[in-house]
Amino acid sequence: MEKEKNVYETDDNGIIVSPGKFEGEPIYSPYFWDRVMNGESDHTFYDGDHPVDVFRITYEEKKEFPELYDFTHVLINEDENGFVYCDLFNWQKEIDNMRVFACGICWGCESEITEAGQRSGLCLSCLHYIK
């Protein structure tokens, strides 16, 4: 993991400023993208035609990248221009906000409805995400 950090120039906040597919993303983005390329994601769902890969953040990853400490999952995807985007997700916070529900694919958890009356969030059982 340490090798990935030394390849890219970053600002004081750990955001990659080197031009390329990771520009503007956090320093851990190349690490997780490498795992995507190796087929190591815990789950993949589709946002339209674009796959989004989900990783459960491990203790070792939190030690290597302390900015991941308050999060449980990384969601990472590549856009049609080849740029990679990384989002962090905290299941407990989503549960507290009642955004976790049964996705309709696995029905592995209880349904919850957002304040707007629409289903959105992450299925706790299969990690399927609905916006």
Pair (1, 60) in one structural domain = yes
Pair (14, 56) in one structural domain = yes
Domain that holds residue 98: 91-131
User: What's the pLDDT at 92?
Assistant: 67
- The answer to which of 30-34, 70-74, 106-110 has the lowest mean pLDDT is 106-110
Segment holding 52, helix H or strand E: strand 50-56
- For residue 57, pLDDT over 50 is answered with yes
- Cβ contact 102:123 at 8 Å: yes
Pair (68, 107) in one structural domain = no
Pair (75, 99) in one structural domain = no
Pair (45, 59) in one structural domain = yes
- Cβ contact 84:33 at 8 Å: yes
Pair (76, 98) in one structural domain = no
Backbone angles phi, psi at 53, to 5 degrees: -100, 140
User: What's the pLDDT at 48?
Assistant: 81
Gap between the Cα atoms of 20 and 102, Å rounded? 38
